[in-house]
Structure formats: structure tokens, C-alpha cells
Amino acid sequence: MEIKVLHQVMEWNEDVSKEVRETLAAHSVCMVNLMGSPGAGKTSLITSLIEQLAGRWRVGVIEGDIAGQIDAERIAALGIPAVQLNTDGACHIEAMSIRNLLPMLPLDQLDVIFVENIGNLVCPAEFDIGESLRITLLSVPEGDDKVEKYPLMFTDTGCLVINKFDMMPYFDFDLERVRQNYETVNPGAPLYCVSCRTKEGLDTLADWLSQQIRQAVR
């Protein structure tokens, strides 16, 4: 009984994610679903990438949070079109919310939309929101055992970004352990190390992302 209902909900989410994908394609917009733990630096990565992509691509943002609008305010302060999505307790974003929010963004004037998912290494990975690309963000202080402990988030993603890389001297973080575990669950997928504070590594990540956007919008 329970499984049957869950299955219906998943199918329904899948139908809507297709709708979202069609809308994005019709407007030549690439949508990036950014996922990671609370405090991994998702909003900081988005603001850093906005800076890096300036002059190349026109960016919009959907900020997902359980409550509040702290993050959307940070983005809007940069003059970037931003919408705050409050899930009111839900631990992930679903495609229906994205479908309902897309008309609030000037799609014809955008090339890429970053969706900041709820801070959570588990549930967001289970829901296709119609994105063109997934990026998983892990930060050095979280530790090097996360790929083993939360495998789906690292298996079902297009790219792993390791943030707060300037903090490596202060934490016991074995980058090779992460790299090997990630390669095992997601062979050949790219991994970038960055610091949104020192800006280390952001240009390389932005170049890769720019290529992905180019492929998605052409």
C-alpha cells in the first residue's frame, strides 16, 4: 500500500520534470540543480559562479529553503533575478515547485538558472526536478567519508565540487579517499576543488560549467 502510493508520487514528479525540461528547452535555458549538506557553501558557490560567468552567460537563481529568504536576498543584492522557494518543512525540492516558479523568472533573458536545493545529502538526490545538470557540493570540514555514507548523492550527479579547500590545513581530510570513492560510484565524472573565500579553483570550474551550459542551450 505504502509502496504503491510512493510509486504514484514518483511517476507524477517524473511527468512534471519532463514538462520543466520542455519549458527550459523552448527558452534555451540550462538549469543546474545544486545539492549539498547544510553549510557546505551552496549560496557562496552560486554567487562565486555568477561572478565567474559574468559577460559569458545570463544567470537567474531559484533559492530553495525550508523557511526564510536569507539566500535569495544575497543573490538579489547582486542584481540577479532570484526567486525564493520555501518548502515549509519538506526536505527536498520537487519538479512541481520548479514548474510553478519558472514563469516568475524572465526565461527569454536567461541562459542558466541555478537551483539551490535544500541542504541535505539524502533526499534531494531522489528527485528529478527537470534539471539539465546536477552538481554535488561537499566541503572539507564535513569530512572525507561522505561518499561512502551518502552514495546516491555522489553517484547520481554530473560533477562533484569540494568547497572550503583553503581549510585543508585545519582538518583531517583525505582528498584521495574521496576521489577514489567517487570514481568507484561515478566513474569518469569530474571533481573540482575550490574555495569560495580565496577564489582558488573557481575559474577552472567555471570553464567546465560554461562548456556544459553551451551544450545545453544550443
Contact set for a second copy, span 167-196 (CB under 8 A):
167, 170
The C-alpha cell that represents 119 in the structure block: 541542504
Please identify which residue in 150, 155, 190, 191 interacts with a second copy, judged by CB under 8 A: 150
CB nearer to a second copy: give 23 or 69: 69
Which one of 23-31, 98-106, 128-136, 148-156 is the stretch in contact with a second copy (CB under 8 A)? 148-156
CB nearer to a second copy: give 119 or 130: 119
Kindly state whether residue 66 participates in binding a second copy, applying the rule CB under 8 A: yes
Distances (CA, A) of 216 to 20, 29, 35, 58, 83: 14, 7, 19, 14, 22
Please identify which residue in 17, 84, 120, 132 interacts with a second copy, judged by CB under 8 A: 120
CB of 34 to a second copy, least distance (A): 15
Contact set for a second copy, span 126-145 (CB under 8 A):
126, 139, 141-143, 145
CB of 181 to a second copy, least distance (A): 10
The DSSP result for the chain, as a single string, is: -HHHHHHHHHHHHHHHHHHHHHHHHHTT-EEEEEEE-TTS-HHHHHHHHHHHHTTT--EEEEEEESS--HHHHHHHTTT--EEEEE-TT-SS--HHHHHHHGGGS-GGG-SEEEEE--S-SSGGGG---S-SEEEEEEEGGG-TTHHHHSHHHHHS-SEEEEE-GGGGGGS---HHHHHHHHHHHSTT--EEE--TTT-TTHHHHHHHHHHHHHHHH-
Kindly state whether residue 76 participates in binding a second copy, applying the rule CB under 8 A: no
Kindly state whether residue 103 participates in binding a second copy, applying the rule CB under 8 A: no
| Count of beta carbons in the 10 Å neighbourhood of residue 207 | 11
Kindly state whether residue 7 participates in binding a second copy, applying the rule CB under 8 A: no
Size of interface with a second copy, in residues (CB under 8 A): 36
CB of 38 to a second copy, least distance (A): 5
Contact footprint for a second copy (CB under 8 A) = 1-2, 5, 9, 37-39, 65-68, 70, 89-91, 118-123, 126, 139, 141-143, 145-146, 148-152, 164, 167, 170
